[in-house]
Amino acid sequence: MPRRYVGLDADDCFALATYKINNALKRQEQERLPYAFLVLSVPELSAPEVARLVPVDYVWTLAVLKGRRLVEEAIVERLREADHRERFHSIFQKMPEGKFRIISARKAHNLLHEKLFERVHALSLKGFTRRFRNAEVDMHFSLSGELTPLRTFFELLIQESPQRVAVGLDRGDY
């Protein structure tokens, strides 16, 4: 998503569906366990680049069946089979350059409320749900500024007690 829409550079932007944030926070409250999102960002790897590698028949099937989760999962399972591995080799080669980051459900929720109209571009488009019927309403986060590098998180887990880190996740510190 370009800077002009959500104020973030494309290489520093991570979109997360707002319903996923809400569901994670609900589950966190029900189960009394902190929820977090783990994100792998790979430099110079974009969704369109990966999408070009997905066979057209699978894309067509998904479109006809209106993006049903069960169909998506079946396609992913099929693409993981040996006869498709070579097709995705270039993607797999780039993955070690990636960086894992983490954001707690609480922090994502807090930022969603704080930056709702800045970072949820769908809210600035009249008739978004009519124009883009199956599109998700996404909150956009800064990878470098709002997500915690996983290595930093693990170091904190070693330095602090697990209970303190769990409380920090629950409060939205990470």
pLDDT along the chain (174 residues), means of 10: 79 92 95 95 84 87 78 86 86 89 97 92 78 81 96 95 93 94
Give the model's pLDDT for residue 110: 97
Give the model's pLDDT for residue 144: 94
Tokens encoding 160? 């602090």
pTM for the full model?
0.80
HEC assignment per residue over the chain: CCHHHHCCCHHHEEEEEHHHHHHHHHHHHHHCCCCEEEEEECCCCCHHHHHCCCCHHHHHHHHHCCCCHHHHHHHHHHHCCHHHHHHHHHHHHHHHHCEEEEEEHHHHHHHHHHCHHHHCHHHHCCCHHHHCCCCCCEEEEEHHHHCEEHHHHHHHHHHCCHHHHHHHHHHCCC
Give the model's pLDDT for residue 167: 93
Give the model's pLDDT for residue 43: 85
Please state, in angstroms and rounded to a whole number, the distance separating the CA atoms of residues 158 and 164: 11
Give the model's pLDDT for residue 50: 85
Give the model's pLDDT for residue 83: 84
* Half-sphere exposure at residue 106, Cβ-oriented, CA atoms within 13 angstroms: 15
